[in-house]
Structure 1
Amino acid sequence: MIGGVSAGYFCNKYGRKGTLLRNNLLNLLGGLLMMFSDNAKSYEMLIAGRLVIGICAGIFTGAAPLYLSEIAPISLRGFAGVFNQLAITFGVMISEILGLQFILGTAYYWKYAVGMTIVPMCLQLCTLIWCPESPRYLMLLKSDEESAEKALKWLRNKVDVSDEIEEMRIEGERMRKSKKFSITDLFHHKELLTPLIIGLVMQLSQQWGGINAVIYYSTEIFEGAGLSKASAQYATVGVGGVNVAMTFVSALIMDRAGRRTLHLIGLGGMFVGSVVLTIGLEYQSHHKWLSYLCIVAVVLYIIFFATGPGSIPWFIVAELFDQQSRSAAVSLAVLTNWFANFCVALGYPEMNTHLKQLSFVPFVCLLFFFWLFTFFKVPETKGRSIEEIRQMFQQPINVSSDDGTVQRGGKTKYTLIPTDEPPVT
């Protein structure tokens, strides 16, 4: 949470790419502290390493989606955003594999497992250093049009990028006429409050839908379903593989199906999976075959989570806000996400102790609420420029129940359609 709320500040001070590169110093420090804590016989080093890695992770989860959303063209913005989640799910799966007892999950080799966080740091230093800084950051925050144009040409692999430069120039003029922006300003402007609420509720839907209860305690869930300890570990790794595969599928269809549609499908599937899992856990002692139904329910839950809720909340916040307010909104969204994660990590064991087989009932209720909120309040952002999305929130809006159509002030109803033609005022 500390890293997440500070991500916006560092992104504005050092740039998106600059923040990602500098953050690797924290990654290195945390990894070394954890890896050598055993040799030094110091649990204090392990705790300090975890603290540093936590701050590092918070900054990364704010800076990476922000960078990706700003360098991607409109047609691939969703694709790039989902690939951020794909990297996360791949990392989760790798950590689960490394944690198996016959690999690094032993009393001696565990220190190397936690030290593996240094490996992606090396990969990023070898690759990201050759990539350009975010053109929008260069143009709108550093007022360096020449560097922004150069970065855009490199990213788009074409000579003429005048359309995007002109769009940023118009946005820059509006920013210069406005006062300096801070996180508290998000709550003082009506046109920003609605997208902020949408962004924060979508962050909550990702975490309070129960995903980390499934991820953190999947092995225990499988053991409770009748699998041996070894088989339960392998099943957990299999669930991680399903998560990676479905996130990749989500990336391929995100810019075709749309954010709102996939989020609704994902939340609906998670709701059904949670209901089936709860019923299976409650009655498995009476019917042995329900143990296998619990495993199927967990797999289906993961599939639908990866379809939309796993990735969309991370990058849709960057789509809902313009350059001036984006960093502040992303910081607050990341803070909310990690706080919700924190609540589930600490709260689910207590829920499991007191509610036992009914421990997923609270998640079922929350998933129903999040589905209704998305259905009635979340507009579609697929194929729309930042300026078009910003204009959607100039007045109170309602969303049509069928296709995400925007309705302003209860009077005029219309659908924003992406086009290559210049906007007509």
Structure 2
Amino acid sequence: MAHGDVTCPLVYAVCAAVLGMLQFGFNTGVINAPRAFIERFIQDSYEVDDTGSGLLFSVTVSIFAVGGMFGCPLASWLAERRGRRDALLYNAAFGVVAGALMGFSKLAGSVEMLIIGRLLIGVNCGFATTASPTYVSEVAPLRLRGAFGTVNQLAVAIGLVGGQALGIDQLLGSDDGWPWLLGLAVIPSALQCAMLPFAPESPRYLLLARRDEEAARRVLTTFRSSSDVHDEINDMHAEDAAERQEEKFTVSKLVTTRALRTPLVIGIVMHLSQQLGGINTVLYYSTTIFETAGLEENSARMATIGVGGVLAVMALVSIPLMDRLGRRTLQLAGLGGMAVSSVLMTVAFFTYHDNFTMSVMAVVFTLLFVAFFGVGPSSIPWMIMSELFGQGARSAAVSIGALVNWFANFIVGLTFIPMLEALGNWVYLPYTGLLIIFFVFTYVKLPETKNRTIEEVTALFKK
């Protein structure tokens, strides 16, 4: 990296922003281990049987995604009106309230507080998944934008591992500890509240939305530790001029524009493949899955930490592969590997009885499933929307993709426990079938976008 590319003010601002993505990872992974204790709390509060408490736990898990569906568009709206930095700050304050509701739910004897807290932290995390990458991409130097973008995925993986690790018996995986475990969501948001006031606003927002070139130059000088920012300011002006010449698309206009229908369908299917392939069944319920495969409760929780660890490693591995092998190749490899792994998981579930080796293999195949997800389907659906659409339609396309992603996340979170009870060891076969369909669709429809301009990609669709 050239001198001045990575400076202390830049690193500080990026760290403050990606705490929201760490929050997203934490709240995805944290609900996994304490399932038994939360269900007992639900039973004590409502006097329901195992089926009723299982259903209410599924609602508690999946309502997080409902919040995410509201958080994404809210972030886009607020970031345009109040700026990227201030939008992140308001969201952080909101996260403190959500974490407190979950943390004090047992003390108050209120399942409603727990569910509302999960809904609100979902809004917070949906907001972060839109606002944090926007801020990071706008403060990073152009040639390092991709590398800084992967910091978001890394923060998610670190949050996931943290949430899962804290859920083991020796730490907070207990009847008394689980409210503290969920309440720890206060910490990333409180840290953001303390850090963000000292992080500068996005220079791109200051220049193009506020029309304050002097402030943009000041901020860029701080970020680059150099007063030589003339070229970067000019590049922003040129980008803005090009964007103004392009037709602006609303969500409704994008959906009804015939010429853009094919890339929109491809983008939506990519997002569906990320969620309906079954990855969140592992992220939300891996402890339950490992117990089903014959592991003792404590061993299952320890194995769950491996899930987040594998995702963190794959986030790093996929960085150099993305531009070397291309999006299409990695997406196909990921979907194909997940399909094969889910079949092997099913075989292991049927043969683990009185066979410790097959119990271990069930864990290994589950981790392999997660690893293949990390190869491509983890990040490519989020990336592909910006590579399939020009600037005029990109914002609307990304919004549609995010909404579809969170909705599919909600469906998977809500239906997995009833599916597990109905299908038992066959539970992963529906996901296997969907993965095969997504693989075939990707093979037939997805063009390679690596090193291609929007004009070149658009020309492929016209052919």
Find the counterpart in structure 1 of residue 456 from structure 2. Answer: 392
Give the Å deviation of 1:338: 1.1
Contact 2:294 2:352 in 1 (8 A): no
Contact 1:65 1:84 in 2 (8 A): yes
Can you give the 5+ residue segments of structure 2 that lack an aligned partner in the other structure? 1-68
Q: Could you list the per-position Cα deviations for residues 162-185 of structure 1 after superposition, in whole angstroms to 9, with x for gaps in the alignment?
A: 555444333423444567653222
**Alignment counterpart, residue 9 of structure 1, candidates 35, 60, 77:** 77
Matched, 1:230 2:294: no
Say which is worse superposed, 141-150 or 258-267, in terms of deviation. Answer: 141-150
- Give me the identity figure in percent: 46
Give the Å deviation of 1:323: 4.8
Query: In 2, Cα distance between the equivalents of 1:18 and 1:191?
Result: 37
Find the counterpart in structure 2 of residue 294 from structure 1. Answer: 362
**Alignment counterpart, residue 273 of structure 1, candidates 320, 341, 346:** 341
**Alignment counterpart, residue 421 of structure 2, candidates 336, 353, 377:** 353
What residue identity is the alignment partner of 1:83?
V
Query: In 1, Cα distance between the equivalents of 2:291 and 2:115?
Result: 29
Matched, 1:343 2:407: no
Query: What secondary structure, in the 3-state scheme, does the structure 2 residue paired with 1:309 have?
Result: coil
Matched, 1:219 2:283: no
Give the Å deviation of 1:259: 3.3
Find the counterpart in structure 2 of residue 113 from structure 1. Answer: 181
User: Any residues of structure 2 matched to 1:284-323 within 5 Å, and which?
Assistant: 284-285=352-353, 289-323=357-391
What residue identity is the alignment partner of 1:306?
G
Query: In 1, Cα distance between the equivalents of 2:212 and 2:457?
Result: 29
**Alignment counterpart, residue 124 of structure 1, candidates 168, 192, 208:** 192
Q: Report the CA distance shift for 1:376/1:83 in structure 2 as closer, same or farther (over 3 A).
A: farther
Find the counterpart in structure 2 of residue 51 from structure 1. Answer: 119
Query: In 1, Cα distance between the equivalents of 2:379 and 2:446?
Result: 16
- TM superposition score normalised by structure 1: 0.82
Give the Å deviation of 1:27: 0.3
Contact 1:37 1:45 in 2 (8 A): yes
Say which is worse superposed, 312-321 or 29-38, in terms of deviation. Answer: 312-321
Find the counterpart in structure 1 of residue 250 from structure 2. Answer: 182
Matched, 1:333 2:401: yes
Contact 2:388 2:457 in 1 (8 A): no
Query: In 2, Cα distance between the equivalents of 1:41 and 1:252?
Result: 49
Matched, 1:42 2:110: yes
Contact 2:343 2:432 in 1 (8 A): yes
Give the Å deviation of 1:210: 0.9
Query: In 2, Cα distance between the equivalents of 1:242 and 1:336?
Result: 26
Contact 2:96 2:190 in 1 (8 A): no
Find the counterpart in structure 2 of residue 173 from structure 1. Answer: 241
Find the counterpart in structure 1 of residue 90 from structure 2. Answer: 22
Give the Å deviation of 1:211: 0.5
Q: Could you list the per-position Cα deviations for residues 68-122 of structure 1 after superposition, in whole angstroms to 9, with x for gaps in the alignment?
A: 3334445433333332122112112111122222211222232221111111113
Say which is worse superposed, 19-28 or 320-329, in terms of deviation. Answer: 320-329
Give the Å deviation of 1:205: 1.5
Give the Å deviation of 1:274: 1.2
Q: Could you list the per-position Cα deviations for residues 267-303 of structure 1 after superposition, in whole angstroms to 9, with x for gaps in the alignment?
A: 2221221121122223444976433322221111111
Contact 1:283 1:290 in 2 (8 A): yes
Query: In 2, Cα distance between the equivalents of 1:45 and 1:91?
Result: 23
Query: In 1, Cα distance between the equivalents of 2:266 and 2:230?
Result: 32
Query: In 1, Cα distance between the equivalents of 2:146 and 2:403?
Result: 22
**Alignment counterpart, residue 94 of structure 1, candidates 162, 169, 172:** 162
Can you give the 5+ residue segments of structure 1 that lack an aligned partner in the other structure? 398-407, 410-425
Contact 1:225 1:291 in 2 (8 A): yes
Give the Å deviation of 1:243: 1.9
Contact 2:85 2:200 in 1 (8 A): yes
Query: What secondary structure, in the 3-state scheme, does the structure 1 residue paired with 2:397 have?
Result: helix
Matched, 1:374 2:442: yes
Find the counterpart in structure 2 of residue 250 from structure 1. Answer: 318
**Alignment counterpart, residue 143 of structure 1, candidates 198, 201, 211:** 211
Find the counterpart in structure 2 of residue 196 from structure 1. Answer: 264
Between Structure 1 and Structure 2, which shows a larger proportion of helix residues? 2
Q: Report the CA distance shift for 1:90/1:334 in structure 2 as closer, same or farther (over 3 A).
A: same
Give the Å deviation of 1:149: 4.4
Q: Could you list the per-position Cα deviations for residues 201-244 of structure 1 after superposition, in whole angstroms to 9, with x for gaps in the alignment?
A: 22212111111112222122222222111111111112222222
Q: Report the CA distance shift for 1:225/1:109 in structure 2 as closer, same or farther (over 3 A).
A: closer
Provide the alpha-carbon RMSD of the alignment. Answer: 2.8
Give the Å deviation of 1:187: 1.7
Give the Å deviation of 1:23: 0.4
Find the counterpart in structure 1 of residue 273 from structure 2. Answer: 205
Q: Report the CA distance shift for 1:66/1:365 in structure 2 as closer, same or farther (over 3 A).
A: farther
Contact 1:83 1:248 in 2 (8 A): no
**Alignment counterpart, residue 70 of structure 1, candidates 135, 138, 141:** 138
- TM superposition score normalised by structure 2: 0.76
Contact 2:287 2:304 in 1 (8 A): yes
State the aligned residue count.
395
Query: In 2, Cα distance between the equivalents of 1:147 and 1:382?
Result: 35
Contact 2:160 2:308 in 1 (8 A): yes
Query: What secondary structure, in the 3-state scheme, does the structure 2 residue paired with 1:344 have?
Result: helix
Query: What secondary structure, in the 3-state scheme, does the structure 2 residue paired with 1:81 have?
Result: helix
Query: In 1, Cα distance between the equivalents of 2:214 and 2:253?
Result: 31
Query: What secondary structure, in the 3-state scheme, does the structure 1 residue paired with 2:106 have?
Result: coil
Query: In 2, Cα distance between the equivalents of 1:64 and 1:306?
Result: 20
